[in-house]
Structure 1
């Protein structure tokens, strides 16, 4: 089918000369240059998010030294941002379903970019905490919106892999934060201010997002904007296929388990595990189980991830390491995030979303236990690298599976609500670390984190396996 054959839209989402809906046409495309451009544009925003979140752990350690703050005070600095992220994630999804994925994506980048830049001028802890809350609002709203946008454009067979690649940009951003932490923050007493000033980059990046990234076709159709939707689909169809290898075809041994595309569409319409039927909300009878499982995973992974990685630089300082050495250790540990994402991206279209997520969560549980009992430098680094590898691979799989669980009309809302609930745990995580360190030290703290990862792994097994299925519309 040529782009010219599909130039006249009909109100039911189909086009003249074709029996396929626009979303089906997108599903059947190869990965084109426009897909790569969309992935890269969204990924840069994702990396800037991660850089901002990652910096706070290094800033906490620096302010403990320069301002003489207690661990309780610095824990509130971290939690304020996560309170904002919880609210942002919850309402960002609602706004994206109402005003569009691209518009909300750009607005959130602007909010947290400007607030981060203003944080560099803070003269006291109270002002810094208030600004971190505003930063969190933007950060929390952006993450579920970006993953939803990628999910709605990605071809069906590589949808999970593209979302994991998007999530891999988080490692790039966190690595940038670790580099800034290791080489800029320790320079002088104002090094942390220069680090936050770099966080203003997202404010300028919003111009690119607003002008260059496409709006979701599914969103445009839901709003009756069929001409715009048709133009975007046509542009993807006209785009040159990329030579990059995103897709691994199913093995022959999987043939008995994999429906061909025509059969699969019929199964979905008829009520397969990927169908949400006539669901009226994320807690409707047809969606209740998956929502409960998804919220459980989100809560547990947030508690452990932010509890561990936000505090690792400060914990290392408490163990007697200098700022420079503790930040260097953290930088090395952060490097392990990249192969974690790479392996998850490979496995998610081979094993499936559920198996990949559960496996990486179980690995995170083991790694957390090992870190809690690490005593010497090589053990700290090795256990930390394992924790980075498995935990960030789990994040990639989680962001891939979330948007697939809900129909178009509530997709951003469903993923945003789960993210928002998870942020409750990220709020609590920094606050519980100081008393647990006093009560039982690292073994007790990381045993808790390991237990949370294990609970998340069990909850992941309750999610439906939707590898290769079409995103539902209703």
Structure 2
């Protein structure tokens, strides 16, 4: 593998926070808001949707699982293309695919058409995740990376909050058979508005370097330095230039970075099995156990989204101070224990809020470390593979937990607690075999 001796990555990390960074993070970070909106709106309006289209319980769970299966396809395809052709080229394609799939779901008139549109939307959003998470890690200065990644991840809960409030409002002003369709129309239009912001996002200089495009990367960093009054450092480092195929990239991830891959795969598994499992159990199983109406489900999701947003923002502030490892260990263990609190007969609103406050903040530390431990030339592809593992697990989780609940509600909650223990064990092992990455440049980590 060839190397380029350059000062560009050091200059990126030396930049103070600017208006560009704020605009950049907003333009790309909005993906998390859209992702959450897409997933939670399904849960919030799943009951009236299922009633309108006459879904069985298994078909209802497939509305979540189908979206995740689409995301698996999108993550693999667009993750590789983002490493091959650049982050920027994929932004508009994936966003348009997601927006179209979401909008068309509002026209679904059967289980088959609804499932098809959910898969299309999932493919678009799966591709978004790989390209955008890579670009954010590669642009943000290392001293800010943890809190920026953590905050963006926490904004997932803002998207879920928007979805819950939208569902509440729609179910109040119109009949259930129409409300769920309007919710999807709104989600599709919302995504299209982001297209205009994306037009001004530059390519990742680190990706350009990994492809040997030194002059293009230099032009971008010079524009950023003009905004802050000139360059801040003259340090240099060696950057690998990758010229291999998708097979070569796979071999590198599974050999040179195999322990990192196992750890980050465990993070993706835990985040998505627990989240998608819970938001499926809520309308399908918990609503029956606690006798919740269609209107009470989005109200409960709103409360959970608020708890997750608060918890996620707190974790985002702590992740560069306390560190990734201690936070990851503490949150995963606490979440496993809180999963069992639903069996104690406490008020469902209080129980769900406390669970969400802790459990929904886990991604703000787990996603940070899982995406920053790979070099730029394979980062998007690695994230794409991780997304596949997570979303495949997430697609399996609702079906598995709903099936367990047929033997008794407690078995589903024990299953949820087990998923949390996977993340806990992975963090404990990483504490001995891995590294604490807070504040370190990406090149030093990889």
Same fold (TM over 0.5): yes
Q: Which runs of 5+ in 1 are unaligned?
A: 1-10, 15-20, 242-260, 270-277
Residue 419 of structure 2 is aligned to residue 452 of structure 1: yes
- Give the aligned partner of residue 216 of structure 2: 228
- Give the aligned partner of residue 374 of structure 2: 406
| Gap change, CA 1:126 and 1:279, over 3 Å in 2 | closer
Distance 2:271 2:188 in 1: 28
Distance 1:468 1:321 in 2: 45
- Give the aligned partner of residue 237 of structure 1: 225
- Specify the SS of the correspondent of 1:466: coil
Query: What TM-score, normalized by structure 2, do the two folds share?
Result: 0.89
Q: Contact conserved, 2:34 with 2:191, CA < 8 A, in 1?
A: no
Residue 195 of structure 2 is aligned to residue 207 of structure 1: yes
Residue 272 of structure 2 is aligned to residue 305 of structure 1: no
Residue 300 of structure 2 is aligned to residue 329 of structure 1: yes
Residues 265-414 of structure 1: matches in 2 within 5 Å? 281-284=252-255, 286-318=256-288, 319-371=290-342, 373-376=343-346, 378=347, 380-414=348-382
Residue 169 of structure 2 is aligned to residue 183 of structure 1: yes
Distance 1:427 1:147 in 2: 21
For residue 25 of structure 1, the aligned residue among 4, 8, 11 is 11
RMSD: 2.6
Q: Contact conserved, 2:281 with 2:402, CA < 8 A, in 1?
A: no
- Give the aligned partner of residue 147 of structure 1: 133
Residue 39 of structure 2 is aligned to residue 53 of structure 1: yes
Per the TM alignment, residue 235 of structure 1 is displaced from its structure 2 partner at its CA by 2.1
- Give the aligned partner of residue 424 of structure 1: 392
Residue 20 of structure 2 is aligned to residue 40 of structure 1: no
Residue 49 of structure 2 is aligned to residue 78 of structure 1: no
Per the TM alignment, residue 204 of structure 1 is displaced from its structure 2 partner at its CA by 2.1
Q: Which runs of 5+ in 2 are unaligned?
A: 241-248
- Give the aligned partner of residue 119 of structure 2: 133
Distance 1:81 1:426 in 2: 10
| Gap change, CA 1:37 and 1:355, over 3 Å in 2 | same
| Gap change, CA 1:128 and 1:164, over 3 Å in 2 | same
451-460 or 296-305: bigger deviation: 296-305
| Gap change, CA 1:102 and 1:391, over 3 Å in 2 | farther
- Specify the SS of the correspondent of 1:310: helix
